[in-house]
A and B are shown apart, each in its own frame.
Chain A
Amino acid sequence: AGKSKVGDEILDDLEEVLITSDVGVETTLRIIERIEKRVSRDKYVNTSELKSMLREEIAALLTENNIEDVPEFTIATDKKPYVIMVVGVNGVGKTTTIGKLAYQFKKAGNSVYLGAADTFRAAAVEQLVIWGERVGVPVIKQKMGSDPASVAFDTLSSAKANNADVVIIDTAGRLHNKINLMNELSKIKKVMEKVIPGAPHEVLLVLDGSTGQNAFEQAKQFTAATEVNALAITKLDGTAKGGVVIGISDQFKTPVKYIGLGEGIEDLQIFRRKEFVDSLFGDE
């Protein structure tokens, strides 16, 4: 036996699950609306059908234009070196994600260069150098306080001269409402283009999975400054669900590529929509 209408109680439960996963009111209402529409069309719906419908709707919001998940830690082979610039607000996990990514790319047989363009935060360069040592890849650096664009320039030049496959540039954490710092980011990006046309090929915005609705504004401002084209969500090994990324991915048409699941070198995974959606509901 089934129901032709979604009961209020089920909808309330649904709302609670979505809101407490940081999906946000607006996206939650949209998801619920879409489900109500489908239910009125599909007539008979039991609870388990409803659940799978919900999963489908959410998965659809995670970039409708990007049907396939990224298969593996692969890079475009027609771009050499493939340049990734990593950006985000303070403390989200940029440097750690770079270490983990470098490990994956190297494991896949690529030569990797890292650029320590966070010349501001205390011991940021040392932190990246330690990651470089762990992975066994070179880190290009200058002294603290030097111009980050100049570090990026050096790194790309070096990588190019040495025929590297991948370059990853670390940047200082900055809050997106600080105009000067956001302009600095645009400048770093422009300098890269001068060394390698088309670079950076990937601007990876790192979002902390425990961040709430402010992540929207982060996505908006970083996209405006640097044309973000990939997302990573970190710290999903905790109890936070990272649901805010559903609305972000939908609104900005930016795919989530990676998720961080710990502090260790192997704790980075390719984002899988289905698994992510399942994790919101804590089953299967």
Chain B
Amino acid sequence: MFENLSDRLERSFKILKGEGKITEINVAETLKDVRRALLDADVNYKVAKQFTDTVKAKALGMDVLTSVKPGQLMVKIVHDELATLMGGEAVDVQISGNPAIILMSGLQGSGKTTFSGKLANLMKNKRSKKPLLVAGDVYRPAAIEQLKVLGEQIQVPVYTEEGNKNPVQIAQNAIKQARQDGNDLVIIDTAGRLAIDEQMMQEIKAIKDAVNPQEILFVVDSMTGQDAVNTAKEFNDRLDFTGVVLTKLDGDTRGGAALSIRTVVNKPIKFVGTGEKMEALDVFHPARMADRILGM
């Protein structure tokens, strides 16, 4: 789709070398290539700027100018910096409460309901948990039915209250039910909402306050563009979420939103969605994501 960053940098440095004098100005010039690659990958405008400033300082400190293969070294610096920013130590999902409660949040269509099913499936099969899925989306046509179908597929019970339009109550009742039935993990699906929808943002905050979840996951479509920062920031300001789920990574998007979100809210990316099936779930690999953003 776009030219690979390493090819681009190799080319730039070759031209520079031909001129026989590689200077600080030349580094700045190649940083334009880095910035362009980031913007092509949907990294936010301001985040990209900030990132290239950091890389510039690193590059000058690491003698890129005199190295034999400046292009390669530059790519390495960029790549490692990206991976570091998105990584840190891996943070596991919190399932220690009894029941442990996990709340989903995010924009419309990001993949919350599908991920709720996937997570329940994973917890049941790999962590010997007894999850209960909760149908907390009372708005979208057939949202409850969708979760029920998924629950059936993975053999996990789904708590529903057809006709009740109050997701706070539904969540509270579901937890009572979980205690009765011995479910040690409650996963609450919620309706998609825009960060600027005041009423809907208050609603999800009310769910949080009522059930006090160990985990609040922000589920985001990896194809998201520049707006990812605004949305992530707003959801985080409201909910102080505990982690991010990046969906639809089975596509060919470069996924720069991952870097933007990580930079703006500094919360770990805990899972990635890699397909529509209930098994299509993976843990997050920062180095792979760095490769992807750079188109490598």
Contact = CB atoms under 8 A, between A and B. Distances in A.
B251 A237 contact: no
Nearest to B255: A214
A92 B109 contact: yes
A222 B279 CA distance: 26
Contacts of B253: 212, 214
A20 B257 contact: no
A14 interface: no
B231 A123 contact: no
Given A92-B109, A239-B227, A212 B257 contact: yes
A20 B251 contact: no
Interface string A45-77: 000000000000000000000000000000000
B281 to A, nearest CB: 15
B142 A25 contact: no
Interface stretch (A1-9, A102-110, A125-133, A155-163): A125-133
Contacts, number: 138
Nearest to B260: A212
Q: Enumerate the 5 nearest inter-chain pairs by beta-carbon distance, A residue then B residue, closest first.
A: A212-B225, A91-B109, A212-B42, A240-B227, A123-B146
Contacts of B184: none
B178 interface: no
B61 interface: no
Interface of A: 16, 19-22, 24-25, 89-93, 99, 120-124, 126-127, 129-131, 134, 175-178, 208, 210-217, 235, 237-241, 244, 263
B108 A263 contact: yes
B193 to A, nearest CB: 10
Nearest to B144: A123
Interface of B: 1, 36, 39-42, 44-45, 107-111, 113, 139-143, 145-150, 153, 194-196, 221, 223-228, 230-231, 248, 250-254, 256-257, 276
B146 A122 contact: yes
Given A25-B39, A235-B107, 17 more contacts: A20-B44, A22-B42, A25-B36, A91-B108, A91-B109, A91-B111, A99-B141, A121-B146, A121-B276, A127-B146, A175-B250, A177-B250, A210-B107, A212-B224, A237-B194, A238-B107, A240-B226
